[in-house]
Each structure stands twice: as C-alpha cells, then as structure tokens.
C-alpha cells in the first residue's frame, strides 16, 4: 500500500477551509500537514495559514505518490445516502446497476452510497438484504451500505430489526405512499418506530398521503387525463405536508429518531422546522431535483414530461427558495439524490396515456456535488456547509462518522480534489449514468470534480475512471447516536 500526499490545496471540512496538505497511508488519512512541509514538496500556491502551520510534518518521501491540488479544494468524499440501483419498480428495474451506478457516482465525487434493500411483501427482511447484497457485492466501484425498506410490517419482521441493526443496517424506510406496494398504515408505522427506537435505528419516511393520492389519480384517469403533467397535479404539496406532520407525531409517540426522505415542499419543511425548534430528533433531506427543476417540465410535449416524474413530484419554483433557506438554517440536514433512473425508451414509455404507469424516479447520482456546489457559487451556502450537507451530516446521521465524512487522522482516505473554477455542461453526452437522458440537459455549472480517492486509491483522475468494479466494500453502519438539535424558542431562523 502506497502513501499519498494531496498537496497545495485548500482543505475544506464541515469546520471550514484551511490551506493544508493531506497525507494518506494505505487506506487511511494520517495527517493534515502545513502546506509545503513534507520533504521535497513543491511550494503551494495557496497562502500559508496559521491554522495549518500548527499541523504535523511528513517524514520520508521515497514511496510518496503526489496529487497536485494547487488552486483546488480538497473535500471529504461525497456520501449519497439515498440511491436505488437495480430497483424493481412498476414492472421494470432502475437502469443503473451497482456497477454502472457506482462508477458514475465516483465520477461525480461520491465515494460512498447507501442504497435500499427491500423486504419482499410476505417475506423476511433478511431475504431482501441477501438479494440486494448479492447484487452489490463484487460489483461496486466505491463503498456501499444499505438501509432496509419495510414493505410489510409484521411481528416476525419486527423481531428481525435488532439483528439487522447489529449487522450494520441501522435505518429502516417506511412508506405512507404507494398503497398495495410499499404502504404501511399508521399502526404499522407506530410499531416499527417503537421497535426502531428500542434497537438504536432511525426511521426514514416517504411522507406523502398515498391513500388520498390514489383517489386523485383514479379521478384524473377516469376523466381521461393521462398526461405526465397529471403526476404532479395528483400529488399536491399539502398531502406531503400532512403526511410529514403525521410522521413527526407518530415518531414523537414512539420516541424514535425520524428522517424525512426526499422532502420537496415548503409545507413539509415547515413541519420539520417546527419539530426541530422543539428540539426533536427530526431530520430531513432534500434532493437536487427539488432545488433546480420545476413542475412546468412535467407539462412538456408528448412524453417529455415523463423524464421528470418522481415522487414526491418536482414542485413550482416558489418551493426552491424555501428549500435553499432550509439548507442554510439546518432545517434540512442533507442533500442526497434519490437516484432512481429509468430510460425513456422502454421504461418511462410504459406510462404513455396513463401517467400512473410511468416508473417513478430521476437520475442524479453523478451530479449531486456539482449541483450543491452551485449554492456556494450563488452565495446561498458556505463552503463548510457544502461539505456538511454532502458528506459530514449524512455520515453522522447514518452511523458512518468519523470513518467517513471527515478528514480526521484515522478516517478512511475518501477525498475529492475539486476545481472550483472549471465550468462544464451537464448532458447525456457527457454523463456516465446508464440512462438515455439527462434531467439537467444543457445546464452549465461552475465547479468540477478533478480527482477522486477512495480508501487511498485514485479512482477518478481528471475525468478518467481508474478504479475497478468490485473494489467497493460493504460498510456496516453504527446505531443512531443522536445528533444535536438545539431547541429554538427565540424565533431565530
Ligand atoms: O420517485 C422516486 N422517488 N422513486 C424512488 C422510490 C422512492 O420513493 O424513493
Ligand atoms: Zn420514497
Ligand atoms: Zn428513493
């Protein structure tokens, strides 16, 4: 195992930026060093900082591989805690395999994903985990973990939960949407939350009122309205707000930590903010599609709108501003992607004339870091917050910190050298995801991934994939340890 020195860059952690070199030995970070202090190092162009000069000194340079980060940011590898590779949905499977999806993730600066294993209805959770493990193991280019989707809460499944937590599956996703598929009623949700609270797990919630939505969907179809745009119209944001409120109330009764997934609407954000103001262990993520894309896209000609069909649906632009504000105030703790790509050909097409048959989901695992970085470019969030949202907070919430999400000595050497100035255009022609369109086609962004290091190995070098299928390891995640949510009584937000 070689040693590696990432030199001359501005190291950014959730605590802020500092000029420093990062010394890696084998798979681990060993030290942050004062710039230029390692033997034979070239003078860094970044200004020396007093904070960095108190750091260690590298000794011996014979076996050292040098990565030039001059003029670049050096950040902890991205952690995307919401992906769906090879996920069965609506009679088809999401188009990225663990092989293609994790390679694309690496290109985008993500070094860990947490995907979702699914308990088959009427079957055991363990069976679901075994199925997903066999799909992922030996195929991932970066490290991976699993949450467990409980699609059929029952006494035997509740009894399985502590064993799964002991095996590193410390979070369970439940659905208030998709009746007959993944849906759990309030009683089942409550019992799963009680069990999760007892065994140190987080409950993740898909918070949309699926019973009411199914009525609206049936009414639209009966009225002959089958266009993709009706997907959004039959899933109004108030039904996300209502479900979010109910999930928070149930989690309070069970005293269970709650994480709202793919939050898209200001009504839902208000519920999360109120719970957090009261000091509750309630957290939420949003996704780039809810920050950048708006509902008008679903009204595109023909089947164009199907490209943007996901649940919850992308919302009117007025929600974007509220979500960006939530990212700034920490009412939203994480940006993940909910990467769940379906090709237009043969997949999204399944819903021609009946929007309810369009497989739900968008591609995005490759673009998360670049898209969140636009918040820095546009002065909506700080550099430190960029790192917190994309790496440190997901690591803390899902039992990966400090092994992942930090650059502390002893942490896994998952690093990204990020060029803050390079502009590039997101496009199906340029992306590595296995899907025949881009949800962000033609969007120009500032900032680009240059080098990606996963456990000490360079896996992306100036746009070229240098990793290998199967090198990614399963990461066992610790039980939920609690995260500070300071109660706010002063209305400061
Ligand atoms: O549309 C979506 N979000 N597809 C993936 C499944 C889910 O609910 O996360
Ligand atoms: Zn969901
Ligand atoms: Zn999802």
**Is the pLDDT confidence value at 54 over 60?**
no
Q: How many angstroms separate the alpha carbon of residue 151 from the centre of ligand 3? A: 13
The residue whose CA is least distant from atom 9 of ligand 1 is 338
Say which residue, 36 or 258, is predicted with more confidence.
258
Closest CA to 250 of 209, 171, 192, 172: 192
50-54, 140-144, 350-354: least confidently modelled range? 50-54
User: How many angstroms separate the CA atoms of 162 and 199, rounded?
Assistant: 5
Residue-level pLDDT at 39: 58
- Ligand 1 binding pocket mutation candidate from 340, 359, 362 (most atoms within 8 A of CB): 340
pLDDT tens readout for residues 344-396: 999 999 999 999 999 999 999 999 999 999 999 999 999 999 999 999 999 99
User: How many angstroms separate the CA atoms of 9 and 206, rounded?
Assistant: 39
pLDDT tens readout for residues 278-332: 999 999 999 999 999 999 999 999 999 999 999 999 999 999 999 999 999 999 9
Residue-level pLDDT at 213: 98
Closest CA to 327 of 278, 386, 368, 268: 386
> Of ligand 1's atoms, which has the minimum distance to the CA of residue 178?
8
User: Domains in the chain, ordered, with CATH?
Assistant: 77-397 (3.20.20.140)
Ligand 1 site, residue 348, Cβ cutoff 6 A: no
pLDDT tens readout for residues 153-187: 999 999 999 999 999 999 999 999 999 999 999 99
User: How many angstroms separate the CA atoms of 387 and 405, rounded?
Assistant: 8
Ligand 1 site, residue 360, Cβ cutoff 6 A: yes
> β-strands 88-89, 92-93: how paired?
antiparallel
**Is the pLDDT confidence value at 334 over 90?**
yes
User: How many angstroms separate the CA atoms of 46 and 43, rounded?
Assistant: 9
- Ligand 1 binding pocket mutation candidate from 173, 262, 312 (most atoms within 8 A of CB): 262
The residue whose CA is least distant from atom 8 of ligand 1 is 311
Query: Residue 270 — pLDDT band, cuts 50, 70, 90?
Result: very high
- Sign of the torsion formed by the C-alpha atoms of 443, 446, 447 and 448: positive
The residue whose CA is least distant from atom 4 of ligand 1 is 361
User: How many angstroms separate the CA atoms of 11 and 335, rounded?
Assistant: 21
> Which three-class secondary structure state does DSSP give residue 333?
coil
**Is the pLDDT confidence value at 267 over 90?**
yes
Ligand 1 site, residue 84, Cβ cutoff 6 A: yes
**Is the pLDDT confidence value at 59 over 60?**
no
Closest CA to 284 of 244, 339, 228, 314: 244
* Residue 478 in tokens: 């610790």
User: How many angstroms separate the CA atoms of 39 and 48, rounded?
Assistant: 17
Closest CA to 243 of 276, 219, 281, 272: 272
Mean pLDDT score across all residues of the chain: 94
Q: CA separation (Å) from 66 to 6, 7, 59, 197, 208? A: 6, 7, 14, 46, 49
Cβ-contact 372, 109 below 8 angstroms: no
Residue-level pLDDT at 317: 96
* Residue 324 in tokens: 């960006």
> Of ligand 1's atoms, which has the minimum distance to the CA of residue 175?
8
> Of ligand 1's atoms, which has the minimum distance to the CA of residue 360?
1
Residue-level pLDDT at 253: 98
The burial of 6, by beta-carbon neighbours within 10 Å (0-12 exposed, 13-18 middle, 19 or more buried), is given as buried
Mean pLDDT (whole number) for 451-472: 98
User: How many angstroms separate the CA atoms of 248 and 243, rounded?
Assistant: 9
> Of ligand 1's atoms, which has the minimum distance to the CA of residue 261?
9
- Ligand 1 binding pocket mutation candidate from 342, 360, 364 (most atoms within 8 A of CB): 360
Q: How many angstroms separate the alpha carbon of residue 338 from the centre of ligand 2? A: 8
pTM for this entry: 0.96
Characterize 370-391 residue by residue with b for buried, 16 or more Cβ atoms within 10 angstroms of its Cβ, and e for exposed.
Answer: bbbbbbbeeebbebbbbbbbbb
Helical segments of 378-477, H only: 383-387, 393-397
Residue-level pLDDT at 482: 86
Helix (H) or strand (E) holding 80: strand 78-83
Percent of the chain with pLDDT over 90: 91
Mean pLDDT (whole number) for 203-227: 98
Closest CA to 237 of 203, 269, 205, 284: 269
DSSP letter assigned to residue 27: T
Residue-level pLDDT at 2: 86
Mean pLDDT (whole number) for 337-347: 98
């Amino acid at each position: 195992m070689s040693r590696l020195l990432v030199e001359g860059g501005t190291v950014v952690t959730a605590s802020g930026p500092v000029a420093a070199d990062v010394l890696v030995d084998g798979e681990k970070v060993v030290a942050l060093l004062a710039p230029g202090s390692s033997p034979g190092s070239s003078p860094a162009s970044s200004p020396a900082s007093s904070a960095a000069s108190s750091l260690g000194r590298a000794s011996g340079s014979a076996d050292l591989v040098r990565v030039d980060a001059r003029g670049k940011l050096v950040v902890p590898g991205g952690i995307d805690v919401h992906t769906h590779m090879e996920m069965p949905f609506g009679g088809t499977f999401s188009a990225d395999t663990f092989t293609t999806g994790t390679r694309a993730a690496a290109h985008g600066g993500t070094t860990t994903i947490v995907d979702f294993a699914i308990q088959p209805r009427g079957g055991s959770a363990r069976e679901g985990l075994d199925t997903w493990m066999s799909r992922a193991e030996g195929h991932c280019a970066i490290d991976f973990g699993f949450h467990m989707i409980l699609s059929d809460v029952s006494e035997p499944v509740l009894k399985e939960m502590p064993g799964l937590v002991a095996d590193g599956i410390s979070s369970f996703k439940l659905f208030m949407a998709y009746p007959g598929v993944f849906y759990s009623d309030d009683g089942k949700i409550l019992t799963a939350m009680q069990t999760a609270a007892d065994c140190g797990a987080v409950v993740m919630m898909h918070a949309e009122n699926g019973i009411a939505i199914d009525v609206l969907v049936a009414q639209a179809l009966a009225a002959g309205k089958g266009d993709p745009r009706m997907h959004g119209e039959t899933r109004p944001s108030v039904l996300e707000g209502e479900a979010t409120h109910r999930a928070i109330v149930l989690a309070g009764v069970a005293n269970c930590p709650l994480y709202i997934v793919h939050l898209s609407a200001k009504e839902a954000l208000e519920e999360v903010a109120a719970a957090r103001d009261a000091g509750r262990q309630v957290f939420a993520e949003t996704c780039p599609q809810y920050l950048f894309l708006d509902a008008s896209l679903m009204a595109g000609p023909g089947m164009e709108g199907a490209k943007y069909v996901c649940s919850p649906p992308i919302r009117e632009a007025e929600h974007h501003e509220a979500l960006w504000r939530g990212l700034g105030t920490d009412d939203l703790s994480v940006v993940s992607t909910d990467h769940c790509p379906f090709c237009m050909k043969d997949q999204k097409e399944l819903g021609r004339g009946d929007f309810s048959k369009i497989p739900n989901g968008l591609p995005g695992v490759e673009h998360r870091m670049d898209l969140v970085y636009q918040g820095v470019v546009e002065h909506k969030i700080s550099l430190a917050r960029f790192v917190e949202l994309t790496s440190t907070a997901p690591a803390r919430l899902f039992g990966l910190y400090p092994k992942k999400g930090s650059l502390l000595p002893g942490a896994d050497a998952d690093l990204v050298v990020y060029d803050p100035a390079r502009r590039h255009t997101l496009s199906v022609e340029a992306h590595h995801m296995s899907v025949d369109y881009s949800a962000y086609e033609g969007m120009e962004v500032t900032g680009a991934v240059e080098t990606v290091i996963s456990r000490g190995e360079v896996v992306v070098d100036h746009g070229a994939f240098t990793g290998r299928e199967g090198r990614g390891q399963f990461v066992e995640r610790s039980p939920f340890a609690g995260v500070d949510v300071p109660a706010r009584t002063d209305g400061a937000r």
